[in-house]
C-alpha cells in the first residue's frame, strides 16, 4: 500500500522560530514536536501551527483575521479547542542540559502518540551556534573554548538513541569547522560521535566518500535561489540498515547539491524586498502593517506573498542622528560609483562621524549597505542589537532593515508572523534556517523515504 507524503513525521530540536520545520512542513512532513528553550520562539511556533491546523480543518479564513488583528490567537483557540490541544502536543519549551532529559523524552513520545505517528522518520536541528560563531570567538578573549554549549550536541545524540529515526539533519554555522574546546576539534569529534550511535548511522557523503574534509558539508543558500549569502554546515545521517532497502540512500546529500532551482526563486535584495512600501526610521508596525500597496515585481515576491492578506512585522527602527549620517555616507559612496566603503573611508572623509570604539582593526565593515543588485549579507542574530550591517539601499529611506525585510531575505513567507518584542523577532529571524533551503533538504529526504516505505 502506498504511503502518503504527509505520513512522514519529523521532530525539530533547538527549533528556534521553526525555519527548518517550516521547510519540512512545506515539503509534506508532519512535525510532531519542536523543542526550544526560548519563550518567544515557542510563541511563534504556536502561531505557525495555528495556521496549519486551521488549514487542516478548512477554517483557514480565520488566519488572516489573526494577522489583521481582528482576532487574537486566544479568540481562535477558544473557538477551536481541538487546535489548542494539538498545538500543546507539538511545541515543547525546554532547555537541554538544564531540564530533565527523561521528561523531554517523555514529552516527545507523548506528542508522537497524540498525533498517531507510527514512528519518527527524521530528527532535525542544531544546538546554539554562539560557541562556534567566528564573531563570537573574536569578541571572547578565550575564543569560546570554555563554553559548555560546545557539547550540547550530545543531547542531540541522546535523542537519536531514544527515537531512532531513519534520518537526521544537523545544522550549524561555518565556524563549527574550526571550533575547538578542551583540546578537541569539535567537528571531527561530532562526526565520530554521530557515526558511533547505536543503532549505527552513516553520514551521507558529499563529493569524496572517503574524505574527512569538513568543507564538503557547507551549503550556500544563495545557490538555491535564496537572496542571501548564507553558508551553513549541514550533514545528514541515515541508518545503515536502510541500505538494504534503498542502496541509493547514500547519495542523498549529492542529490541536494544537484537540486535545480525553480524559476520563482530570488537572487538579489531587489528580488526580496523591492515591492515593500518605503518607511522612514520609526515608521511601520510590529504586527499588522496593512495590505500590499504595490503589485509583486518578481516571481520571488509573488511566492512570498501567497496566502497572506498583507504585510506583518514591518516596523523600522529609530536611529540616532549620528548613525543616520553614517548610513547616508555609506549609501552615497555606492551611489557615486565607489566600492563599498569602510570605517577607514569614513575616518578620512568625515572623521567627526567615526564611532567611538576600539575595534577598528577587526570591524572595519561595521556599517554595511545591502545593495539592490546583490544577495543580502548573512542575516545573523546580531541584527537584534543594531542594524548597522543591514542598511537599506534606498537613500530616501536611510534606515536599517525591518523584521519583514530580514525575513524575506531568509525566505520566510509573508504570512509567517514572528511573536514578541521587535528585538526578539529579529533574533528569531537571524537564528533561523531559510525555509526554502530546508524544503529542498526535506523533499530529497522524502523521495528516499518513499523508496523505502512504498
Residues annotated catalytic, as ranges: 129
C-alpha cell at 427: 533574533
421 contacts: CB under 8 Å, gap ≥ 6: 40, 286
Q: Which of 42, 35, 31 is nearest to 14 (CA)?
A: 35
- Residue 320 to residue 318: CA distance in whole angstroms: 7
Q: Which of 303, 315, 288 is nearest to 435 (CA)?
A: 303
CB 437 within 8 A of CB 219: yes
Question: What are the phi and psi torsion angles at 221 (to 5°)?
Answer: -60, -35
For the four alpha carbons of 339, 343, 345 and 350, in that order, the dihedral sign comes to positive
For the four alpha carbons of 381, 383, 386 and 390, in that order, the dihedral sign comes to positive
Burial of 313 (0-12, 13-18, 19+ CB in 10 A): buried
Residue bearing cell 499588522: 288
- Residue 231 to residue 217: CA distance in whole angstroms: 10
For the four alpha carbons of 279, 283, 284 and 286, in that order, the dihedral sign comes to positive
C-alpha cell at 97: 542540559
Q: Is 180 helix (H, G, I), strand (E, B) or coil?
A: strand
- Residue 432 to residue 428: CA distance in whole angstroms: 6
Euclidean distance between the first and the last CA atom of the chain, given in angstroms as a whole number? 7
Half-sphere exposure (CA, 13 Å, Cβ side) for 174? 14
DSSP state of 277: P
CB 204 within 8 A of CB 217: no
The alpha carbons of the chain give a radius of gyration, in whole angstroms, of: 22
Q: For residue 210, what are the CA distances in angstroms to 191, 196, 205?
A: 13, 17, 8
Q: Which of 315, 277, 326 is nearest to 423 (CA)?
A: 315
Amino acid at each position: 500500500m502506498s504511503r502518503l507524503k504527509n505520513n512522514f513525521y519529523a521532530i525539530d530540536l533547538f527549533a528556534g522560530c521553526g525555519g527548518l520545520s517550516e521547510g519540512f512542513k512545506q515539503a509534506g512532513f508532519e512535525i510532531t514536536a519542536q523543542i526550544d528553550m526560548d519563550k518567544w520562539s515557542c510563541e511563534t511556533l504556536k502561531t505557525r501551527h495555528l495556521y496549519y491546523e486551521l488549514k487542516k480543518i478548512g477554517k483557514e479564513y480565520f488566519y488572516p483575521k489573526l494577522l489583521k488583528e481582528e482576532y487574537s490567537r486566544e479568540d481562535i483557540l477558544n473557538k477551536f479547542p481541538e487546535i489548542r490541544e494539538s498545538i500543546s502536543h507539538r511545541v515543547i519549551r525546554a532547555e537541554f542540559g538544564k531540564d530533565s532529559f527523561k521528561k523531554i523524552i517523555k514529552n516527545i513520545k507523548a506528542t508522537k502518540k497524540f498525533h498517531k505517528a507510527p514512528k519518527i522518520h527524521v530528527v532535525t536541528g542544531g544546538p546554539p551556534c554562539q560557541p562556534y560563531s567566528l564573531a563570537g570567538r573574536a569578541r571572547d578573549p578565550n575564543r569560546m573554548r570554555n563554553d559548555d554549549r560546545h557539547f550540547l550536541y550530545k543531547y542531540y545524540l541522546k535523542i537519536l538513541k531514544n527515537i531512532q529515526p531513519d534520518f537526521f539533519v544537523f545544522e550549524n554555522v561555518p565556524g563549527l569547522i574550526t571550533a575547538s574546546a578542551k583540546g578537541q576539534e569539535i567537528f571531527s569529534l561530532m562526526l565520530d560521535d554521530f557515526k558511533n550511535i547505536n543503532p549505527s548511522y552513516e553520514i551521507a557523503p558529499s563529493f569524496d566518500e572517503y574524505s574527512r574534509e569538513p568543507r564538503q558539508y557547507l551549503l550556500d543558500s544563495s545557490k538555491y535561489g535564496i537572496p542571501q549569502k548564507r553558508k551553513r554546515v549541514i550533514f545528514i545521517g541515515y541508518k545503515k540498515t536502510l541500505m538494504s532497502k534503498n542502496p541509493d540512500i547514500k547519495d542523498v546529500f549529492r542529490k541536494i547539491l544537484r537540486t535545480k532551482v525553480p524559476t520563482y526563486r530570488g537572487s538579489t535584495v531587489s528580488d526580496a524586498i523591492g515591492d515593500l512600501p518605503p518607511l522612514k526610521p520609526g515608521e511601520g508596525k510590529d504586527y499588522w502593517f496593512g495590505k500590499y500597496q504595490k503589485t509583486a515585481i518578481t516571481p520571488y515576491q509573488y511566492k512570498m506573498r501567497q496566502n497572506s492578506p498583507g504585510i506583518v512585522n514591518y516596523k523600522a527602527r529609530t536611529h540616532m542622528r549620528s548613525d543616520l549620517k553614517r548610513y547616508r555616507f555609506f549609501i552615497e559612496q555606492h551611489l557615486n560609483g565607489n566600492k563599498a566603503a569602510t570605517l577607514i573611508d569614513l575616518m578620512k572623509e568625515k572623521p567627526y562621524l567615526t564611532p567611538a570604539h576600539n575595534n577598528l582593526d577587526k570591524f572595519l565593515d561595521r556599517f554595511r549597505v545591502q545593495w539592490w543588485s546583490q544577495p543580502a549579507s548573512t542575516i545573523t542574530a546580531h541584527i537584534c542589537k543594531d542594524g548597522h550591517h543591514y542598511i537599506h539601499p534606498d537613500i530616501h529611506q536611510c534606515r536599517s532593515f525591518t523584521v519583514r525585510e530580514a525575513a524575506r531575505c531568509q525566505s520566510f513567507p509573508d504570512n509567517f508572523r514572528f511573536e514578541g518584542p521587535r528585538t526578539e523577532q529579529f533574533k528569531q529571524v537571524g537564528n533561523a534556517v531559510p525555509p526554502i533551503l530546508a524544503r529542498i533538504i526535506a523533499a530529497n529526504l522524502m523521495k528516499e523515504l518513499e523508496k523505502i516505505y512504498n
